[in-house]
Each structure stands twice: as C-alpha cells, then as structure tokens.
Structure 1
Amino acid sequence: MTLLRLDASIQGDRSASSALADTVVAELTAARPETPVVTRHLGQDPLPADAWALATSAGFVAEAERSAEQRAALDLAAALADEVRAADALVLALPLYNYGVSQHAKAWIDLVTVGFGTGVPALEGKPTVLVTTRGGAFGEGTPREGWDHNTAYLRRILADLWLADLTVVEREFTLVGVNPALDQFAELAAVMAKQAEEDAVAAGRALAAR
C-alpha cells in the first residue's frame, strides 16, 4: 500500500487538522511500517494560483500554440493526477477557512480534475480519510448552523464525483483556548477533541486492515 497524505493548514505546528492526520498515519504505519507515505503540504507549499486557469485555457488552444505557462500548468496537473493515481489510500487534512474550503485545497482539486479529466472518478474505490476541522461550532441548533460550506463540498467531490471509499474525521471548536470569547465552551470542546482523536485512531486502524 502507498499512502498519499495531503495537508492544507496554514497553522504550522498548531494545526488541529494536521495533528489528527498525524494520528491516522501513525496508526497505519505502526501496523504496516513498510507503507510508503507520499506527502504534499499545500499550506506550506501552495500551488500557483493561476495554474488552473492556465491549464484549462490550454485545452482550447492547439498544442503547438500553447504558451510555456500553459504547458507548465498542464504538466503540474498531470503530476498531481499521477500522485493520486499511484496512491492506494489517501489521508486529506483539509480544514474549514472562512466558512468554506481552503483556497489551497480548491486549487489542488481543480488541477487534479484537469489531470484526470472532468467527470473521471479519480479515487474510485480508494480508501480515503478526510480530516476536517472547524474553529467554531456549526452543528444543528447553533447560531452558525448551515455556515459550513467546506465539509459538504468535500463530500460531493471526494465521494460523489471521485467515488472514494470515504471516512470523515471531524473536530469542531478548535479555537477554544485561543479565542477568549469561546472559553465558556471549554468542556464541550474537550469532549469533541477526544472524540475526534478516537475517530482518527479508528480510521488509521481501518486503513491498516485494508
């Protein structure tokens, strides 16, 4: 088994999504230490913001007439698709930012789509763990219910379009302890953190058992 791990956090060592992904990968590699792990950190090494537009526009231009920038963008899209194609399983640590999907993750999704071709199920049948975190709370009955435009979008792409065998590990209230306005939710946040850690352990063990 070859694992592709993708991170999109901009938080560095403070990242809650990366910490949970660490747990998933640690459980997998503890059981299967021979597993190669290919990593790509979109938050630390972002993809070029104009690459998708260049790669897409290249499709409307004769190959001989494509610019050097268009060719480079197509090469990047192909390389990203090849990484996905070569992986037997994936761990994707993609937090919510500004109520939606990270720009880093969106750039990757768009370029992988170009690399495979629109409508191609890029992850068909592949076990994929999506780790996603949210600074606040967005569940039923909360003031921000319905404001999470990240998780549903990622489910649509990964499971419904790309046909991944998807497991989702989620954690909310990651800003408790950081934002004093959320101090009143410390007990609830601790419960959520514990549950997310347990879910990450279970996801890693399930990957190892594949």
Structure 2
Amino acid sequence: MSLFRLDASIMPATSASRALGDLVEQAWAQATPEPQVRRRDVGTSPIPADLWAAAVTEGFTPEAERTDLQRRGRALATALADELLEADALLLTVPLYNYGVSQHVKTWFDLAYADPRIGPGATGLAGTPAVLVTVLGGSYAPGTPKDGWDHSTGWLERALRDVWGLDLEVVQRDLTLAHANPAMAQLRPLADERQAAAEEQAAVAGERLARAMAGARA
C-alpha cells in the first residue's frame, strides 16, 4: 500500500510539522503490509510559481504556438496529479507562515489543480483517506489576542476536504515557539501539554489511516 507525503517546512532540521508527520507515518507503516512512501518536499524544493499560469494557458494555446514553459507547466501538473492519484492515502505536513498558507503549498495545489483529473468539478481524489498535519507558532483559538489570525488551516481544510473530497483528519499543534520566545515563557507548560496531545493524536491518526486504506482495498 502506498502513501504520498508532502512536506512544506523551510527548516527541515527543526521542523515541528515534519516531526508530527513522522509519527503519523511511523504508525501507519507499522500497521501496513509492505508500506511504500512517495515523497515531495516543496519546502526545500519549491515548485516554480510561474508554471501554474503556463499550465493553465497551455490548454487555450494552439499546439504549434505553445512555449517550452507552457509544456513544462503542463507536464509537471500531470506529474503532481499522478502522485496523488496513484497513492492509497495522503499525508501533508504544513506549517503556518505569516498567518497564511505557505506559498510553497499554494503553488503546489494550484499547479496540481490545473490537471483536469483533479481540477474543478473532478472527483478523482474523492474519498481518499488523508491526514493534514499543521503547526502554529502561537495560538489563534477563540479568546486569544490573535483569534482568527490563522488563515491557513481553514483554507487547507476547504481545499482538501471540500474541493478534492478527501476523507481528511487534521492533526494540529500550536504554541510551537513557546520555548524559543522569551515573551511566551509563561505558556511553556501549556505548550508541552499541547505537544504531548498532538503527538498522541498523530500516532492514532496513522493507525486510522492504515485501517482506512485496508478497508478501501477490501
């Protein structure tokens, strides 16, 4: 059984999102016969932003007039869609950057979405089991000073669950900067609790992902 994993952190050595993703993957692999993982790291190997427009306009351009950039854009859009469609399950680890969606993830989504098999109105990914791991440096929960400032998680859920139709579970950890930021020192005990809870949820999510895959194959 195969898992497609997307990572988006620009600092892999210290990435909290990758660490949580590792726990999901480990639990999944332990419960899966002959596990296979295909990876794409858009944090360290970003997709060129100009390829999306090239892929979109390629379809409206006569073949003889298409540019090399358009052909590269279409080819990569096809490859990105293939990675998703050929997987039995998906794992995406995405940190919150500057209160919004990582530009690397948005570029990846836009280009993949240019493929008609998973583009507007398509149902090629409907029902695919998936886990989204997302981490937040602070807290943006109701009642906090920055309530509502997380403009990433909601968009990701909308794109993955509602647009692509994935059977999605979200694993989230907040307050990841508490031990690095002196101004958040009073939040460190709470941050430790949130970390432990997220790690436990990640392991359970991996096991559920394996069961969902097994059920789909049965």
Q: Distance in 1 between matches of 2:123 and 2:101?
A: 20
Residue 33 of structure 1: how far off its partner (Å): 4.8
Q: Distance in 1 between matches of 2:67 and 2:168?
A: 38
**Structure 2 unaligned blocks of 5 or more:** 213-218
Provide Cα deviations, 1:36-59, integer angstroms capped at 9, x if missing partner: 100111101110121111111222
Q: Distance in 1 between matches of 2:132 and 2:63?
A: 36
Are 2:162 and 1:160 aligned?
yes
Tell me which residue corresponds to 1:124: 126
Q: Distance in 1 between matches of 2:29 and 2:6?
A: 16
Partner SS, residue 94 of structure 1: strand
Are 2:181 and 1:179 aligned?
yes
Tell me which residue corresponds to 2:46: 46
TM-score norm. by structure 1 comes to 0.97
Aligned mate of 1:190, from 183, 189, 192: 192
Q: Distance in 2 between matches of 1:96 and 1:102?
A: 7
Q: Which amino acid aligns with 1:189?
A: A
Provide Cα deviations, 1:43-82, integer angstroms capped at 9, x if missing partner: 0111012111111122221122110110011000000000
**Structure 1 unaligned blocks of 5 or more:** none
Moved over 4 A (4+): none
Aligned pairs, number? 210
Q: Which amino acid aligns with 1:206?
A: R
Q: Which amino acid aligns with 2:56?
A: T
Q: Distance in 2 between matches of 1:62 and 1:195?
A: 54
| Percentage of matched positions with identical amino acids | 51
Taking only aligned residues, the RMSD between alpha carbons, in angstroms, comes to: 1.0
Q: Distance in 1 between matches of 2:138 and 2:144?
A: 10
Q: Distance in 2 between matches of 1:201 and 1:70?
A: 42
Provide Cα deviations, 1:2-55, integer angstroms capped at 9, x if missing partner: 100000001211000000000000001112251110011110111012111111
Q: Please say if residues 52 and 107 of structure 1, whose CA atoms lie closer than 8 Å, have aligned partners that are also in contact.
A: yes
Provide Cα deviations, 1:94-124, integer angstroms capped at 9, x if missing partner: 1110101000100110011002332323421
Q: Which amino acid aligns with 2:8?
A: A
Q: Distance in 1 between matches of 2:19 and 2:140?
A: 21
TM-score norm. by structure 2 comes to 0.94
Tell me which residue corresponds to 2:18: 18
Tell me which residue corresponds to 1:95: 95
Partner SS, residue 64 of structure 1: helix
Are 2:161 and 1:142 aligned?
no
Provide Cα deviations, 1:143-173, integer angstroms capped at 9, x if missing partner: 1101110000001100011100000000000
